[in-house]
């Protein structure tokens, strides 16, 4: 048995996507605490359906799983996830621009992670 150790890019990308997941949780909690919930959370008095509020987390988990199982399309999956995170942030531009800026920051971190994965392609 010849076990291949995990490549350093995968460890870095994994840590980054886990960090992005924690950032998504921080955005959700912060937006609720300031009283301007993200569109995907909805107001505290009338929250969105759980499938809706799970969208940003599912997007991030898809990228994390793609990092763990690197294939030819891993970087493309990461890029699609970045675009989806930016699209999710766009939904908050009119009602809560501060929350949208936070989400765009998270999408930017995801974009940088994608560039690292592209540079160190599996």
H helices within 35-122, ranges in order?
50-53, 55-68, 74-90, 97-119
Query: 62 lies in a domain?
Result: yes
Query: 9 lies in a domain?
Result: no
pTM: 0.87
Query: 86 lies in a domain?
Result: yes
Query: 11 lies in a domain?
Result: no
Reading the chain (122 residues) residue by residue, the pLDDT tens digits are 444 445 777 888 899 999 999 999 999 999 999 888 899 998 888 888 989 989 999 999 999 999 888 778 888 999 999 999 999 999 999 988 999 999 999 999 999 988 887 876 65
Q: What is the dihedral of CA 40, 56, 83, 110, to 10 degrees?
A: 130
**What is the residue range of 112's domain?**
20-119
Query: 3 lies in a domain?
Result: no
Structure tokens at 23: 């950032």
Quote the number of domains for the chain. Answer: 1
Q: Are 100 and 27 in contact (CB under 8 A)?
A: no
Query: 5 lies in a domain?
Result: no
């Amino acid at each position: 048995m010849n076990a291949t150790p995990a490549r350093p890019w995968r460890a870095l990308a994994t840590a980054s996507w886990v960090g992005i997941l924690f950032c998504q949780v921080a955005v959700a909690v912060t937006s609720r605490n300031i009283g301007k919930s993200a569109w995907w959370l909805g107001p505290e008095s009338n929250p969105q359906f759980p499938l809706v509020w799970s969208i940003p987390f599912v997007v991030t988990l898809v990228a994390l799983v793609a990092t763990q199982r690197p294939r030819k399309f891993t970087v493309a999956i990461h890029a699609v996830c970045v675009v989806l995170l930016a699209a999710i942030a766009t939904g908050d531009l009119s009602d809560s621009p501060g929350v949208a800026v936070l989400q765009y920051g998270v999408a930017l971190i995801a974009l940088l992670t994608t560039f690292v994965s592209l540079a160190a392609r599996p």
